[in-house]
Homo-oligomer: A and B are copies of this chain.
């Protein structure tokens, strides 16, 4: 089973990368672009075939490592394909 985790900064947490991208896009002449935020996406291959168990395991990984829950939120997508 494949899992895809999105890790994004919580609202209100400063995002230097997003801000820099926004500024550079402006410099490049792109108009009307605002509120740029950069996050991470982590893709994993799991041996687990049971969706519920897989989800629980990935949630654990997020809590323990993939996200810093002080500043970040995460969402999990599973893809049994």
Contact = CB atoms under 8 A, between A and B. Distances in A.
Interface of A: 6, 8, 18, 21, 24-25, 28, 30-48, 57, 60-61, 64-66
Specify how many copies of this chain sit in the oligomer.
2
B35 A65 contact: no
Given A28-B61, A33-B61, 19 more contacts: A8-B41, A18-B42, A18-B43, A21-B42, A21-B65, A24-B65, A30-B60, A30-B61, A31-B47, A33-B44, A36-B42, A37-B43, A38-B41, A38-B42, A38-B43, A39-B41, A39-B42, A39-B43, A41-B41
B43 A57 contact: no
A39 B40 contact: yes
